[in-house]
Structure 1
């Protein structure tokens, strides 16, 4: 049975645009998933990337155009300049880490946090937003508090694991054979690889 480590950031528009497509591919191949939310700004600093607000205006303008086109192609609503971006990604990431430990709809949780940021103008750093999203997906909202310490520790480890595994952006999917797929536009390639066609 294949396994995939999914490195992502709850602040990433491209993690948002993954939607449910990755989980559909994983299910098709019977693959298990470990969700690894990470500090994307910390990852940029560690791997030679530049945070979007610090990029040259040419790159910033292209990024917005690419996000608009991609969201339209995927038929997903998007606010290119959300009111609560950037915000603190730690609370939503800790919640996902705690939820994964208890089991349940982690995929839906990831999608809801990213949609809240990029399509619903909600601040995913706010406690009430985190708790409401947890409850909506069948998790006890109290895990946002009880999993705080372990979540913080795992969140830090996820960044270290990402750097060690060769990750430099989000979303990144890494198979148990160390094949790396970066970007929401590489899900089809991941499918082909798991099918033995790449």
Structure 2
């Protein structure tokens, strides 16, 4: 029986983007499914004591840059250190991910595409033309996806809220947050442990 990695994602996160390719590879190797669940990270921070980047002590902000540099070298990604617009308003982009997922499409690839637009191409994924471009680059009918995303705004807002509720119930306090058989893993630097969890026998 196929296993599932529940993936709580915030599209603005460089850590989500950096780990996404490895997550997809792990899932393919294990024959597992990735259940992509965009969340409201601001609410998670409010409820768990986390702080947006700009509100963190300078020492933490400085160390983050060292970590970003190390991990982008590790993954071989030519990432932008300081995107022109960060954080972007990811509301519509996240809604598109939900709509594509509901239609049986590759939500992981789309979420990764939005991350690439921000962190590789320095594009504002809060802008509709950029969103359209990402959708088209993924081989999707951009007009149809946007019509679904914008035409059922209440549905997707409810789903985003439910995802955030589920993330909190799973102990989430940051992203990326992965869950395998009820066991949580925080950060793209825990993906080897995610891979190991998928090899364990099921109860």
TM bucket (normalised to shorter chain) is over 0.9
When normalised by structure 1's length, the TM-score is: 0.93
1:41 is the counterpart of 2:33: no
Of the candidates 170, 173, 178, which is equivalent to residue 175 of structure 2? 170
1:1-198, aligned counterparts within 5 Å?
1-141=2-142, 142-148=144-150, 149=153, 150-175=155-180, 177-196=181-200
| Local SS of the residue matching 1:17 | helix
CA contact (8 A) 1:96 1:110 kept: yes
Segments of 4+ in structure 1 off by > 3 A? none
CA contact (8 A) 2:34 2:108 kept: no
Deviations 1:41-97 (A, max 9, x none): 221112111111100000000011111111111110111211010111111110100
CA contact (8 A) 1:105 1:138 kept: no
Deviations 1:11-68 (A, max 9, x none): 0010110131101111222212211011222211121111111000000000111111
Stretches of structure 1 lacking an aligned partner (at least 5 in a row)? none
When normalised by structure 2's length, the TM-score is: 0.91
Stretches of structure 2 lacking an aligned partner (at least 5 in a row)? none
CA RMSD of aligned residues (A): 1.4
Q: Distance in 2 between matches of 1:135 and 1:103?
A: 17
Q: Distance in 2 between matches of 1:33 and 1:191?
A: 12
Q: Distance in 2 between matches of 1:63 and 1:145?
A: 38
